[in-house]
């Protein structure tokens, strides 16, 4: 096999390809994202999408560049002052990567929503930055109906905020951090049983009704059993046997019972998995194939994953053991593929135009235990007095310094903006007065939602102090966090947050809430 001379793009993107693979990169290069408002937060987010090679971006911004804008934004210069911000930022950002296609629209988001809301339908993802509440809600509604994912981001003084709004986001490759191995030691398949029986070890006594050790006591007894298997030298002391040591160390994790997680169960029980039609998305077709396998050939278990961890052994024994699992995995994947095929035929499709080579059944089966679906509530649901998450807010506010108070303050400053067409404390002379006005906004917010919580005066004061500033350091942090979530949404790899993220740059803490 001749290794290809690496293309320039492969070299350039090498470090990220190791994270999301060529197929992830392809998804990224086919994506087109829209950014509303090229403030520091916005350009930092885009920078982090342009560098890895997103297909295209479009900036929508009706503002003209001010001196303040240039002060905190790396992608504007003093020459940009007075020019249209969308255009100025696009030029600087475009320069980061010539593979990416940059566009701009000199228009305020509100105008676009008035005249051409369908403009937004063409995007893979819309990112709204520093949007006033009314614009945010309007846009949220348009994008929700159109099924376009919406990521709301905001830097407000020393507070960062992100809200993900996506109806349903499916993930096959979630890349879990600490996945348990799929060794099937509690329910060995035939080929595994046969393979193990070729080893010359004393057979285990059937003392525990063919169950694996469950609690600490049983696991200790099991370890002792292993210890007894160690060869002894002439003086009766056990030899140093690395493989036995490894076995003893791994008793806890290797003997985990083979079972299906609730997340995967929920997927199997979803309406989309149950009712397959010609409109069904690839993910649900594949999930259904796996479900059929579980309910039939799998006898309640998922297809075998096929990978085993490295173990101390000589090469031949390891490879032949590995092959037992690999071959079983291939067999199971073929059965899953057959199930999927029969559903396709039932709805009148021969094959699925997913990618060259049909549906990716092999990665599906390898990741069967880690399938995930993320469903976010709409902004309308979050804001409606009838459906907002009162319990979540109230219980978080049991700790009055929890990040939830920062969320409430952001809602309060939005209220202030609605009433006064400006944010509190922008000019020094306004700070003092605005504190009491902002406090009224906080109280009216709490009253409207019948929230019996205490928002400390210190936070009202602090938010007036901020004067709606957008310090570059906070914008940069949020730029990183948001871009990473955007990449997860575009590549359908790794699991996005659900659905509100608050960053407290004062204490360097953060929390995620579901609102």
Distance CA 500, CA 505 (A): 16
- 77 forms part of the interface with other proteins (CB under 8 A): yes
Region 399-428 residues binding other proteins, contact defined as CB under 8 A: 428
- Output 3 or 350, the one with its CB closest to other proteins: 3
- 177 forms part of the interface with other proteins (CB under 8 A): yes
- 329 forms part of the interface with other proteins (CB under 8 A): no
Least Cβ distance, residue 338 to other proteins (angstroms): 25
- 11 forms part of the interface with other proteins (CB under 8 A): yes
Nearest to 383 by CA among 36, 108, 117, 140: 140
Binding range to other proteins, per CB under 8 A, among 7-15, 331-339, 391-399, 406-414: 7-15
- Output 153 or 340, the one with its CB closest to other proteins: 153
Least Cβ distance, residue 96 to other proteins (angstroms): 6
Least Cβ distance, residue 242 to other proteins (angstroms): 9
Q: Hunting for tokens 């053991």 — which residue is that? A: 321
- Output 158 or 267, the one with its CB closest to other proteins: 158
Q: Which of 121, 122, 175, 208 binds other proteins (CB under 8 A)?
A: 175
- 71 forms part of the interface with other proteins (CB under 8 A): yes
**What count of Cα atoms within 13 Å lies in the side-chain half-sphere of residue 142?**
22
Region 85-104 residues binding other proteins, contact defined as CB under 8 A: 96
* 53 Rama class: left (phi>0) / alpha (psi -120 to 50) / beta: left
CB of 338 closer than 8 Å to CB of 365: no
CB of 408 closer than 8 Å to CB of 463: no
3-state SS track over 35-56: EECCCHHHHHHHHHHHCCCCCE
- 375 forms part of the interface with other proteins (CB under 8 A): no
- Output 30 or 323, the one with its CB closest to other proteins: 323
Least Cβ distance, residue 318 to other proteins (angstroms): 4
CB of 394 closer than 8 Å to CB of 151: no
Q: Which of 466, 491, 513, 515 binds other proteins (CB under 8 A)?
A: 466
Residues 6+ apart with CB under 8 A from 145: none
Q: Hunting for tokens 């902004």 — which residue is that? A: 379
Say how far residue 471 (Cα) sits from the centre of its chain. Answer: 26
Binding range to other proteins, per CB under 8 A, among 63-71, 103-111, 215-223, 278-286: 63-71
3-state SS track over 257-302: CCCCCHHHHHHHHCHHHHCCCCCCCHHHHHHHHHHHHHHCCCCCCC
Region 483-502 residues binding other proteins, contact defined as CB under 8 A: 483-485, 487, 494-498, 501
CB of 502 closer than 8 Å to CB of 510: yes
- Output 16 or 392, the one with its CB closest to other proteins: 16
- 252 forms part of the interface with other proteins (CB under 8 A): no
- 254 forms part of the interface with other proteins (CB under 8 A): no
- 139 forms part of the interface with other proteins (CB under 8 A): no
Q: Which of 180, 204, 281, 319 binds other proteins (CB under 8 A)?
A: 319
- For residue 227, cis peptide bond before it (omega within 30 degrees of 0): no
Least Cβ distance, residue 227 to other proteins (angstroms): 22
Region 114-133 residues binding other proteins, contact defined as CB under 8 A: none
Q: Which neighbouring-strand residues pair with 156?
A: 159
Q: Which of 404, 477, 490, 500 binds other proteins (CB under 8 A)?
A: 477
């Amino acid at each position: 096999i001749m290794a290809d001379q690496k293309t320039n793009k492969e070299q350039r993107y090498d470090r990220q390809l190791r994270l999301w693979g060529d197929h992830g990169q392809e998804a990224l290069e086919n994506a087109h994202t829209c950014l509303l408002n090229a403030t520091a937060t916005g350009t930092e987010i885009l920078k982090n999408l342009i560098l890895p090679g997103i297909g295209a971006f479009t900036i929508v911004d009706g503002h003209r560049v001010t001196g303040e804008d240039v002060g905190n934004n790396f992608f504007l210069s003093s020459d940009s002052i007075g020019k249209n911000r969308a255009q100025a930022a696009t030029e600087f950002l475009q320069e980061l990567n010539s593979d990416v296609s940059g566009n701009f629209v000199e228009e305020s988001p509100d105008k676009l929503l008035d005249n051409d809301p369908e403009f937004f339908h063409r995007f893979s993802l819309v990112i709204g930055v520093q949007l006033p509440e009314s614009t945010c809600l309007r846009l949220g509604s348009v994008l929700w109906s159109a099924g376009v994912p919406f990521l709301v981001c905001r830097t407000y003084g020393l507070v960062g905020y992100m809200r993900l709004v996506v109806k349903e986001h499916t993930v096959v490759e979630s890349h879990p951090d600490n996945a348990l191995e799929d060794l099937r030691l509690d329910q060995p398949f035939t080929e595994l049983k046969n393979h193990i029986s070729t080893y010359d070890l004393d057979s285990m006594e059937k003392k525990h009704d063919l169950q694996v050790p469950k609690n600490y006591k049983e696991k200790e007894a099991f370890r002792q059993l292993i210890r007894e298997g160690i060869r002894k030298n002439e003086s009766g002391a056990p030899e140093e046997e690395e493989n036995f040591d490894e076995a003893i160390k791994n008793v806890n994790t290797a003997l985990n019972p083979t079972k299906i997680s609730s997340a995967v169960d929920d997927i199997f029980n979803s309406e989309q998995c149950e009712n397959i039609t010609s409109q069904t998305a690839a993910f649900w077709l594949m999930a259904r194939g796996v479900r059929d396998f579980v309910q039939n050939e799998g006898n309640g278990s998922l297809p075998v994953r096929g990978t085993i961890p490295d173990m101390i052994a000589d090469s031949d024994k390891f490879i032949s053991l590995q092959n037992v699992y690999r071959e079983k995995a291939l067999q199971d994947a073929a059965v899953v593929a057959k199930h999927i095929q029969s559903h396709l035929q039932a709805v009148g499709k021969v094959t699925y135009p997913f990618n060259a080579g049909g549906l990716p059944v092999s990665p599906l089966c390898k990741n069967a235990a880690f399938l995930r679906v993320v469903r976010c509530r709409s902004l309308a649901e979050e804001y409606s007095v009838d459906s907002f998450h009162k319990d979540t807010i109230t219980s978080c506010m049991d700790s009055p310094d929890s990040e939830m108070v920062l969320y409430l303050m952001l809602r309060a400053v939005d209220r202030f903006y609605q009433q006064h067409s400006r944010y509190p404390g922008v000019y020094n002379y306004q700070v003092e007065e605005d504190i009491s006005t902002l406090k009224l906004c906080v109280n009216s917010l709490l009253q409207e939602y019948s929230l019996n919580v205490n928002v400390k005066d210190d936070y009202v004061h602090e938010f007036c102090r901020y004067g709606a500033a957008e310090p570059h350091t906070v914008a940069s942090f949020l730029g990183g966090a948001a871009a990473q979530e955007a990449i997860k949404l575009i590549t359908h790899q790794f699991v996005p947050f659900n659905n509100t993220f608050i960053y407290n740059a004062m204490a360097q803490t953060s929390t995620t809430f579901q609102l």
